[in-house]
Structure 1
Amino acid sequence: MKRIQLVIVLFYLHSAAASFFENGLVQTLQDGIADGIVSDSCEAALQLYVENLQSSSDQWAFNMLDATSKIPVGLQSFNLGEMGQFSQCLGTESEDGSIQAKYCLGTLLSTTGSSGSGVASRNFVQRAHQIRSLSRRVIGLRDATDDSNSTASLFQSGIPWAICLPRNCSNEDVGEIYNRIFGTQGVTCQTKDDLTPPLTNGAIATIVILAFLAFLLVVSTALDIYFQHNKKRVPHVGFIAFSAYTNGRKLFQISKNSNELTCLNGIRFWSMMWVIIGHTFSTMVSAPVLNFKDIFEWVNSLRSMTIASGTLAVDSFFTMGGVLLVYTYLKARHNGTKFNIFQFYIHRYLRLTPALAALVLVTANLVQYMGTGPLWYNIPVSLAEPCREYWWTTLLYVQNYVNKNSSMCLGHSWYLSVDMQLYFISPLILIPLYKYSKVGIGIILSGIIASVITPFCIAYVTGIPPLMTNVVAPVSLMDYMSYYYLKTHARAAPWFIGLLLGYILSKIKFENNLRHFKFNKVVAILSWAVCLAVISTCVFARSDALMSPNYSKWESSSYIAFVRPVWAICLSFVIFACVTGNGGPIDWFLSWPIYQVLNRFTYSVYLLHYTLLIILAYSNKSGIYFNELNASYSFWGITMFSFAASVPWVLTFESPIVVLEKIIFGAPKKPEKSIADVNSPASGSGIDTLPQEVEERKYGVPE
């Protein structure tokens, strides 16, 4: 009985606190009307609002007040997910239609500079900031400073707060009301009309283009089925270039070839999974979260390094890219194929760009119509506008040098820029490597050394932290990205290491020396033990730097300079061991045939998954609860969603390009293949059915 009484008392106290806050809010609105801080139209609407709350049977004012943020639970857990009731607010209007609602979201600041007159409001905000400061001390964050160049400033913005008011009040009026109550920054408002904005000319043009491509897909598929059903010869291969029937069948074919580096299929797939789960976690923790304190505690734990070190997956792709580039080049030259540098470049560009260009087009013109929510106003700013203005830097693969981080179109596609730039300079290495192997190897070794020294110097001069997840570093995340992470000259070491491994593997394969590299059991066990130990060190090293602002410049610079090359060397050993028959169960696992099929979709998955994550994050209408189980659940959901979306994307923007390119440039006679073709990053998309093309497809991966 006493427990029931206690629950009743606690419920009463919470209700009383909420009522006290609401009364303070209403009193502040009345004071604002009396003081004339708002426009005449807003003043009249607010007067009706207050009167309706007090006397009318029409519930529109109560619905607005009910949709406004209240004192949230879990302040001690750093609850940043209080955003009111977005849909309820915008769905509210008076019976006669004269009053409609406006949803506004702002950020509560410390009340020291606020002129707010609502006692309950001021007391709440003061208490909230006290609890937040206490939470920061508990979880080990240093005191806040107002340094805009600090990553820690990201966590010093106040508490999100929503208010639902009549739309007669302008955004300036709402800002005045907010400041009267709390002291705020960044107030943004949405009305019911914003839920269904009119189509722009760009959106209409994009829909027409996509509809035309869908028409081609349907017609080409119908013709293909007709010709096959009636056993008639196709007049020209171009008629079935867009056939989902033929292209779809080839997407799911599994082939075998003795020269195929089958272990790369598994490495590629699981590297992609590592990237997706890393993006899932990073997107989740940047969303409005109900338990932000738990995020800091999780980031401070050793197990979070499995996510924080996901950036190494990008270096896996750089390494594999280097391996395949040299291996396929030397294989083609070994088979007598001539090197055509024009075809080498144009083939690469045509295989990568159509799918990327399609996403740029959709992002610039259609993404803003794909959802709604309190934070949806960020979509035009963070996704659409950069693609409208800087689409050309993305399609020319120069955005990692031309654009600032915030202005990059499809920022996660920075990897493609780095990869394309490395591919562009590769003939300077490939040609000497074939004709004068010692010169080529010397160039590669020089590139490795330079690519280790360069990031060390960058890190030492700029003082960037060893890990991008260090949120309390004195140098911002933006500086980490722009000085180091996105730059080709700072990220090339794994690629050069991959080039060297590709040369070694080509010599072994083509000279049939595999038997000379078979390890005995003791050497194999020791080699794998050392390799796996070093890999674990790369993943879990510097976990102490996650939440520490006091890292050593020398240690940080050394870590940044060596961790990625060391990772690439370990991965090279894994590939070498698997190719030479020393991989055992690891080679068996990485060489599953199903990876061939999955990897035909990974380029489109890479392009689509991060955009889908952003859309889902900004369409949230309430805060989310962070834990590893929820994040893992989201990871599998977005992975399945991305693979499903990639099927039509591949059939529309990848597979047909292979056919059209062969029509334009002519297909090489078998068994000869052009070097440009065997180095294609998009081979294996369903049209090229030769086994090596499955092996040789290399995809970019963002982080």
Structure 2
Amino acid sequence: MILGLYLLLLSPAIASAGLEEYDEPFILQFINRSQTLDLSLKCKQSLALVYDYLNDIETLTDQKICYFESFATGPNDLFLSRDQDRWVYKGYECLLSAGETVYSKSEHPMHYCYTHDDDKDKRVPAFSVCIPSPCADENQKLLEEWRRITHPEATEPITFTACTRSRHEKQWFELPVPIADFGFNMSLAMLVVMATIFHNMRGEDAKSWSARILLAFSAKTNLKKLIALPKDPQSCITCLLGLRFGSMVWTLIGHSFIFVQAYMENVEDFKNSMVDNFFNQWITNFTLSVDVFLTLGGTVLSYSWFRKWLKNTSEEEPTWTSWGYWLKFYRHRVVRLYPAYLYTLLAVTLRISVTHFHPMWPPTDPAIQCPKYWWQNVLFVNSILDNQCMPWTWYIGTEFIYYLLSPIFLLTLRKAPKIGFILCFVVIMFSAGLNVESIVRNNFPPTQFLWKQPEMFNPNFIQHHLELYIKPQYRIGPYLIGILLGYQLARYQRIPVKPQQSNKYIISMWSVALVGILFGLYGLYPALQGWDSIAWRAYHLLYGALHRDIFSIGIAFLIYICHTGIGGPVNVFLSSNFFLPLANLSFSAYLFHMIPVVLTYMLVPFPIYFNTQIPLFIHCFVQLLITYFFAIICTMVSELPALNIERLLLASPPKTTLKPSPPTDSEIQLKPSDKA
């Protein structure tokens, strides 16, 4: 005990974000003491070589510094929340100390091992060590020794440890599963090439089913769908094209500015810069981009559905008991989502996540998490459960649940519009009330704080993410606002002679749109600054409960303004044909965008030093290009061919209507050519 206290007095230096770092002599004492433990001979020999390796003339100074800085202790309850980026940063320091490169294997590979208690309420420390790879199987003994000399008061047994290695034991091209996935992708690419050649030689006049299915993969056909507007211009809300692509870019920038923190040396300077600048809220409050997607999803579904049934049509309208109609309604949604979703899930899990020479951070590594939790994504319940496989796809599960519930609101609005509006309003307010209850009970901030957390709020943003942020019951407001908007747009489309609007009306509409958008976007500043009084506490609570709905109302008014002809140059810009293919690719882009976000930061020299935001925006531009490259592949080999095959094999024979009707669909991107 006396020795432990003596070593504690010698060593700790408090680092940023609450982690304790230790100096070189202290860590070397740990290395020397560890050699007296009951370890394998190979492990003891590798520990004995650590000092010589770090002081070798061929070892870079940065490697030596990074090795000693990777040892740390910190609060257990903040391991996966406030301090997470610092633990990940120390993991990369350990990996860098091994001297691995893409083309050469280190003679002294390292493992970064850590332990924390699964019970976040326990006030016990979390620990990390950087050990030679021959000691990886005995990491628990070494972590216990590290805890013994840094925090001797912690006596509970270690029940959980995890390690990540400086280099994969085998690279992806040496493993059968990634090679098989690569071969599968090459086969799909060859199928597209063959289908395109067949299309050029034979044309579209294919008589056999096999030929028609082959043509479903034709790039000639599918590229036209990416760049072609619908034949009926009234079936497309063109301003959604720019909004959809803009939201995709906004999402990528927000995620990029979050994940760069794990690679940044002076991260506190970066966090202060992000939070203290009022105008940076378009990044720090970027999670509103998801609410744009939700609003657009509800709008597309509702507008398409009501345009059909508000017409004078001979087709029988669906009712609560039209089981065949609703099964087809849901079937098309599944076919719409599954091909691209499953293609991405397989590619990311089996190959892309193991392509780099060293693994990613274990808690978020798809190669580790998806083999255990893939079924949650396949069943669209990942947002209801722990969301551990490809966590950015929580949105797809949440939106699918809203789609399942949408007939309740569609039919109520169709049969009794006033009751439908009241129902939507009550559900929106009930969801806001649930937000209030959760925020008060857990002391959550108004939204996720992913850069700095004022002390007045609960700093555990992972708890916030899992218990409130991704749960469907807290996020349905924007989707219902979209459904109401789609209903109003469909009714407006039925007016034979559109009224000439007064300047007062136009100014009023624009005022509501701008106030809603700006309040939702920039009203977070008092909470970011930690303004704490009874009045500000009440403001934070109301903002947390309503800001997404208010922001979505602003977006809904903007869409209504543009679609009804008073949007002026804003509508011209958002409706530009330039955005059409980019918007059509946005679903696949959303699925893949996190891969280049992480990849580019792993490829540049570590660590990154923050001076200005300009280099980060350059990263974002490169990430966007890579994202859309993957999106084109995903769309051409899975998404559009599946929809083409659905039309061939599953679509019911067309029924007689006075005019062609658009599809009933709700999706991340508008697909004018998709029909149920």
> For 1:394, which of 369, 377, 387 is the aligned residue?
377
Residue 211 of structure 2 is aligned to residue 210 of structure 1: no
Q: 1:315 is aligned with what amino acid? A: D
Q: Whole-Å Cα distance in 1 between the matches of residues 637 and 107 of structure 2?
A: 44
> For 1:462, which of 424, 428, 442 is the aligned residue?
442
> For 2:63, which of 67, 70, 73 is the aligned residue?
67
**Per the alignment, do residues 381 and 326 of structure 1 end up closer, same or farther by CA in structure 2, a change over 3 Å counting?**
closer
> For 2:201, which of 223, 226, 241 is the aligned residue?
226
> For 1:296, which of 272, 283, 287 is the aligned residue?
272
Tell me the equivalent position of 2:365. 382
Residue 550 of structure 2 is aligned to residue 541 of structure 1: no
Q: Whole-Å Cα distance in 2 between the matches of residues 645 and 663 of structure 1?
A: 27
Show the 5 A alignment for 1:248-397: 248-255=223-230, 257-259=232-234, 260-333=236-309, 334=311, 336=313, 337-338=315-316, 339=318, 340-373=325-358, 376-379=359-362, 382-397=365-380
Residue 413 of structure 2 is aligned to residue 433 of structure 1: yes
**Per the alignment, do residues 548 and 221 of structure 1 end up closer, same or farther by CA in structure 2, a change over 3 Å counting?**
same
Q: Whole-Å Cα distance in 2 between the matches of residues 102 and 200 of structure 1?
A: 20
Residue 651 of structure 2 is aligned to residue 655 of structure 1: no
Higher mean C-alpha displacement, 310-319 vs 546-555: 546-555
Shift of 1:437: 2.9
Shift of 1:592: 0.9
Tell me the equivalent position of 2:592. 608
> For 1:598, which of 582, 588, 591 is the aligned residue?
582
Shift of 1:49: 6.7
Contact 1:104 1:190 in 2 (8 A): yes
Q: Deviations over 1:294-317 (max 9, x none)?
A: 323432332331112212221122
Higher mean C-alpha displacement, 564-573 vs 596-605: 564-573
- SS of equivalent residue, structure 1 residue 399: coil
Shift of 1:371: 0.6
Q: 1:647 is aligned with what amino acid? A: I
Contact 1:654 1:682 in 2 (8 A): no
Contact 1:28 1:180 in 2 (8 A): no
Q: 2:426 is aligned with what amino acid? A: S
Q: Whole-Å Cα distance in 1 between the matches of residues 326 and 448 of structure 2?
A: 38
Contact 1:39 1:173 in 2 (8 A): no
Show the 5 A alignment for 1:417-456: 417-456=397-436
Tell me the equivalent position of 1:556. 540
Shift of 1:149: 5.4
Query: What's the % identity of the aligned pairs?
Result: 23
Q: Deviations over 1:378-420 (max 9, x none)?
A: 258632233212222212211211x224xx2221111111211
Q: Whole-Å Cα distance in 2 between the matches of residues 304 and 537 of structure 1?
A: 14
Tell me the equivalent position of 1:636. 621
Residue 386 of structure 2 is aligned to residue 404 of structure 1: yes
Contact 2:583 2:669 in 1 (8 A): no
Q: Whole-Å Cα distance in 2 between the matches of residues 64 and 621 of structure 1?
A: 14
Q: 1:441 is aligned with what amino acid? A: F
Shift of 1:424: 1.0
Q: Whole-Å Cα distance in 2 between the matches of residues 165 and 202 of structure 1?
A: 24
Shift of 1:162: 5.4
Shift of 1:490: 1.4
- SS of equivalent residue, structure 1 residue 239: helix
Shift of 1:359: 1.4
Q: 1:539 is aligned with what amino acid? A: L
**Per the alignment, do residues 602 and 396 of structure 1 end up closer, same or farther by CA in structure 2, a change over 3 Å counting?**
same
- SS of equivalent residue, structure 1 residue 310: coil
**Gaps spanning 5+ residues in structure 2: where?**
1-22, 70-82, 153-157, 319-324
- SS of equivalent residue, structure 2 residue 110: strand
Q: Whole-Å Cα distance in 2 between the matches of residues 90 and 268 of structure 1?
A: 43
Contact 1:363 1:387 in 2 (8 A): no
Residue 665 of structure 2 is aligned to residue 679 of structure 1: yes
Q: Whole-Å Cα distance in 2 between the matches of residues 571 and 232 of structure 1?
A: 44
Residue 165 of structure 2 is aligned to residue 190 of structure 1: yes
Q: Whole-Å Cα distance in 2 between the matches of residues 641 and 281 of structure 1?
A: 17
Q: 1:537 is aligned with what amino acid? A: F
Shift of 1:468: 1.0
Show the 5 A alignment for 1:459-538: 459-469=439-449, 471=453, 472=455, 473-474=457-458, 476-515=460-499, 518-538=500-520
Contact 1:326 1:430 in 2 (8 A): yes
Shift of 1:456: 2.4
Q: Deviations over 1:192-226 (max 9, x none)?
A: 56252686665455345434433422332232222
**Per the alignment, do residues 182 and 615 of structure 1 end up closer, same or farther by CA in structure 2, a change over 3 Å counting?**
farther
Q: Whole-Å Cα distance in 1 between the matches of residues 491 and 100 of structure 2?
A: 69
**Per the alignment, do residues 270 and 335 of structure 1 end up closer, same or farther by CA in structure 2, a change over 3 Å counting?**
farther
**Per the alignment, do residues 513 and 484 of structure 1 end up closer, same or farther by CA in structure 2, a change over 3 Å counting?**
farther
Higher mean C-alpha displacement, 388-397 vs 231-240: 231-240
Shift of 1:26: 6.4
Q: Whole-Å Cα distance in 1 between the matches of residues 606 and 511 of structure 2?
A: 47
Tell me the equivalent position of 2:41. 40
Higher mean C-alpha displacement, 671-680 vs 286-295: 671-680
Tell me the equivalent position of 1:121. none
**Per the alignment, do residues 533 and 149 of structure 1 end up closer, same or farther by CA in structure 2, a change over 3 Å counting?**
farther
Shift of 1:599: 0.9
**Per the alignment, do residues 635 and 488 of structure 1 end up closer, same or farther by CA in structure 2, a change over 3 Å counting?**
same
Contact 2:297 2:668 in 1 (8 A): no
- SS of equivalent residue, structure 2 residue 383: helix
Scaled by the length of structure 2, the TM-score of the pair is 0.78
Q: Deviations over 1:328-369 (max 9, x none)?
A: 111112152544212111001101111111111223322342
Contact 1:387 1:410 in 2 (8 A): yes
Q: Whole-Å Cα distance in 1 between the matches of residues 624 and 263 of structure 2?
A: 19
| RMSD (Å), alpha carbons | 4.2
Contact 1:30 1:50 in 2 (8 A): no
Q: 2:526 is aligned with what amino acid? A: D
- SS of equivalent residue, structure 1 residue 361: helix
Contact 1:42 1:169 in 2 (8 A): no
Shift of 1:538: 1.8
Shift of 1:547: 4.8
Shift of 1:540: 1.2
Q: Whole-Å Cα distance in 2 between the matches of residues 281 and 300 of structure 1?
A: 15
Q: Whole-Å Cα distance in 1 between the matches of residues 668 and 289 of structure 2?
A: 19
Contact 1:254 1:597 in 2 (8 A): no
Contact 1:103 1:164 in 2 (8 A): yes
Q: Whole-Å Cα distance in 1 between the matches of residues 188 and 290 of structure 2?
A: 32
